[in-house]
Structure 1
Amino acid sequence: MPKGTNQKFKLYRLAQIMLENTDEEHYITMPEIIDALGTYGVTADRKSIYADLRDLEILGINVEGEPVGNRYHYHVVDRPFELPELKLLVDAIQSSKFITEKKSNALIRKLERFVSRYDAQKLQRQVYVSGRIKTMNESIYYTVDAIHNAISMNKKIRFQYYQWNVQKEMELRHNGAWYCISPWGLSWEGENYYLVGFDQGAGKIKHYRVDKMLHIRIMEEAREGKEHFQRLDMADYTRKSFGMFGGKEQNVRLLVDNELAGVMIDRFGKDVMMIPSGEDHFTVNVDVRVSRQFLGWVFSLGEQVEILSPEEVRSAMKEEIQKHMRQYQ
């Protein structure tokens, strides 16, 4: 048999054919493998392909052959990801507001390479089921990468921060001033990505929406605020901050209708202590950063939740309600 023009790519093309065209439900026969190789300018006989299929295992591609009638059908087994796992990743990418539509589609196309073309279609169908609002900051990838690099290098970063104005234009905050922050972590909250860092000038921990950061640069100065983050549980910090808005941390006692037990567990975790109060209610004591967003969350639950203490927070809730009443009079 004369050799094809691309024999040196034989094993690579065989791997490509098997990965793209076979899965648990789709098989390929030996004649079909030979024909597919031929389209790439590669010639092969059965004996050499048997050996090549065994060699694919060295590359981590396991091919299984099953007898069907008087022929063997071959397909790839034990892929790095199962289809349900990739669907989960696709959903996470699609629901992430901090990833642009363009970058989301590029990421999903890369994930499609882990499955056959048949399963890739199932992933692609999921891409268009949602019209979620996405960020328009195309530099998000590089911003996140720079933050990770700064953390590993123990360096500060500087960046500009923007907001949208009523003309729907990006407008730099503080007249384009540069923010100099010591980055210590990244937090994913409410479909947004946040930088959590230390502001030496203010002497406290702050957080910033990563998709609103522009022109990030790694500085030569070493990070500051280590003593603050040594005693900070990042997950606990995120849980206490509603919508990642700051506020004074306080222990708040709530009276909650029994029907909202699941809401409390979803928000504060299964370890939250729920103390019965009569037949229809229970009380919880939770540590939160009291902000208008926290008060808004309580307000959204209506008559089924009441702030009992401290009086300072209870009064803040009354004041917020009065503001709304005056607004709608």
Structure 2
Amino acid sequence: MSRDFELAELKLIADVISSSKFLTYNQSAELLHKIENLCCDCDAMQLRRNVFVTGRSKQPNKGVLYNVDTIQRAIAGENGKFKISFKYFEYDMNRRKKYRDKARICTPYALVWDRDHYYLVAWNDHRECYSNFRVDRMESVRITAEPARPLDRDFDLTQYVMTHISMFSGDEVEVKIRCDQSIVNAVLDRFGMDVRMIPDKDGEHFTLYASVVAEAPFYAWLFQFGGKAVVQSPEWVRQEYIDMLRDVMENA
């Protein structure tokens, strides 16, 4: 009997579901049960033995799936493209939700999966710029009657995602970084295969040229390599990183 999925393919899907942070424990279990129904009893038993739902850092907001659905419908715009409204929150020290001002009004352009989280890339009416929002921190997502703002013709979503480490919003700047050859794979993982890298004559280093948002996530990414990644320019980025390192040492 022919089937749409091989067992290995279903296992891959099941692994993604079980490890997804944006799904609650119950949502993961329910989806895995549906995956089992796509294969025969024998394969379902094998799938069940090899997949488990981890409770590690699971999403407490069960409305995330519905948020994603609403956002996708707004982006697709089958009945016309419109802006969305939503409430945005962060957690305080007591794990209570702290809402940001009033409801946000944005034009949604894309949903991006980055480091175990869903992000919305949108035009922020309040700030009049492109902004990123964690979907699991959005509530009361609604499609409004206000027409969406057209996407700028020169806006490159792929480039935008590659340069906004951890989806931090901000202005891009091109940096020049001298790197040890041992971190080349980490560089390619972060910036993609088309990033500009110039090998040094010593055969042990290369110079990386990349556009980044010079904010905390970029410096955190840089820090993991220690002296194997040295910012050469621009000078203000280099100095900002040095100041950050000095602050860490003084307060350690």
Instruction: Give TM-score, length-normalised by structure 2.
Output: 0.93
Equivalent position SS for 1:187: strand
| Counterpart-to-counterpart distance in 1, 2:43 and 2:225 | 42
Residue in structure 2 matched with residue 195 of structure 1 by the alignment: 120
2:34 paired residue among 87, 106, 110? 110
Gaps of 5+ in 2: none
Shift of 1:320: 0.7
| Counterpart-to-counterpart distance in 2, 1:232 and 1:98 | 28
Residue in structure 2 matched with residue 236 of structure 1 by the alignment: 159
Change (3 A) 1:97 1:223: same
What is the identity, as a one-letter code, of the residue corresponding to 2:125?
Q
Gaps of 5+ in 1: 1-76
What is the identity, as a one-letter code, of the residue corresponding to 1:162?
F
Q: CA RMSD in A?
A: 1.5
Shift of 1:131: 3.9
Answer 1 or 2: higher relative contact order, Cα 8 Å, separation at least 6.
2
| Counterpart-to-counterpart distance in 2, 1:217 and 1:283 | 46
Equivalent position SS for 1:92: helix
Aligned length: 248
Residue in structure 1 matched with residue 106 of structure 2 by the alignment: 181
Residue in structure 2 matched with residue 72 of structure 1 by the alignment: none
Equivalent position SS for 1:271: coil
Residue in structure 2 matched with residue 326 of structure 1 by the alignment: 250
Superposed CA deviations along residues 176-209 of structure 1, whole A, max 9, x for unmatched, are: x211111111111111001111012211001111
Q: Is the 8 A contact 2:28 2:53 kept in 1?
A: no
Q: Is the 8 A contact 2:177 2:207 kept in 1?
A: yes
Residue in structure 2 matched with residue 270 of structure 1 by the alignment: 193
Instruction: Give TM-score, length-normalised by structure 1.
Output: 0.72
Shift of 1:293: 0.8
What is the identity, as a one-letter code, of the residue corresponding to 2:147?
A
- Which residues in structure 2 correspond to 1:1-329 (within 5 Å)? 77-128=1-52, 130-151=54-75, 152=77, 153-174=80-101, 177-224=102-149, 226-228=150-152, 230-277=153-200, 278-328=202-252
Change (3 A) 1:219 1:129: closer
What is the identity, as a one-letter code, of the residue corresponding to 1:192?
H
| Counterpart-to-counterpart distance in 2, 1:184 and 1:227 | 7
Equivalent position SS for 1:98: coil
| Counterpart-to-counterpart distance in 2, 1:316 and 1:248 | 15
* Greater Rg by CA: 1
Change (3 A) 1:137 1:126: farther
Q: Is the 8 A contact 2:85 2:103 kept in 1?
A: yes
| Counterpart-to-counterpart distance in 1, 2:139 and 2:172 | 30
Equivalent position SS for 2:37: helix
Q: Is the 8 A contact 1:248 1:291 kept in 2?
A: no
Q: Is the 8 A contact 2:130 2:169 kept in 1?
A: no
More helix by share: 1
